[in-house]
Structure 1
Amino acid sequence: MAKRKRKTHARRRNTGPKKSRFSSGAILSILLTGVVIGLMIAFGAYVYTSGKYRTMGDGLGKLYSNIAEPKKPVEQEIKQEVTHLKPHYDYYKILLENERPIPRFDEPVKRPVVKKPVQKQAKTEKTDQPPRKTRSVYMLQVGAFRQKRDAEELKARLAFSGLVASIQRVNLPEKGIFHRVRLGPFSSIDAMNRADTKLAHQGIKAARMQIVQ
């Protein structure tokens, strides 16, 4: 009889309500996680609607562009500087009397207009004089500037490409003072052409001149 009572009592214990597997601490952590996720979603929605997201990462973008941008070659920099310093004067209008332009094949001959002075008739004795011997040298004129500092800057830029230039200051009648940047003198046209080819590779078009001495 005692055994039967014990079994009945054990069965009654097992048929009671089962306790929940989740403790109060686990429920609290789940609630906190939900609150954090909700705050993150709300902050994301605020940033998106306010437009601030567009400026995020600009610093990294500028840094990447500075690193990824390749350095320009020296010749390209010289070409840009020469273009910036390009004078707004016609080379053939600022030549001296003993300078004659040598045109290229792709351009017509431009000769400066020289006013002939009015000569008074005078009685002179005829003398037999031998003809004067002359020789010519050749120059390349890269630019002509009113300001000397512009001419010096162009001369320095050309030196980076291995071209030695000189600055000549001339005072032309009815035009004023110019500072001309020139290469030469060259003893032959071939030597002048070689220097002219180097300038052409850099996008510089110089005036070719023959100087009669």
Structure 2
Amino acid sequence: MTKDYKPSPPRSEKKGNPFLSGLLVGLLLGVGASVGLTIYLKGDSSPFLDKGTKQNTVAEKSGKRKVSEETIKPNSPDDKTLQDPNKFDFYTILPDTESKVTEQEVKNATTIKKDSYFLQVGAFENEDDADNMKAKLALQGFEAVVQSAEIPGKGVWHRVRVGPLSDVEQINKVRGDLTLNGFNADLIKVHTEATTN
């Protein structure tokens, strides 16, 4: 039998490192899982939409909700025995804050009414919680103030507000920025009067 004296070509070894390919697959799976979790937690259809589209979807979601007639129940005599948790006592507070003004003071004084608007981000019983919210807003680039108010029967509450704001466009821009950063804000109108003699 004849023997082949030609040297055979060396066997090709697998090129590539199994560690690197496993690392790449793991990285891709991790990124996919984190994007999926973000979409699930935020409730958005896609995190890749532009801001204009995202604001429209928020406006559509917060549209008016219909209330069925079954959920509205007329008051019955049995309901009078239950205490209403939303009992308002401003009927007794407001008359106590009235002050009498003489006609001479009215003639001499000129009042300028100026309305200021604030976006209230939160109200806390604990002042440290209010300061923490103010710090979170500052990290996002918002200038907030903490206003303390004595509420009869409930104690001192610390309100975290962004403002004062005077222009509707400015209010809408700041409110939209707050919403995009995950803060819910309520619009508060504050009446201020400046008297000049």
TM band (smaller chain): 0.3 to 0.5
Which structure shows the bigger proportion of residues in strand conformation? 2
TM-score (norm. length: structure 2)? 0.46
Mark the structure with the bigger radius of gyration: 1
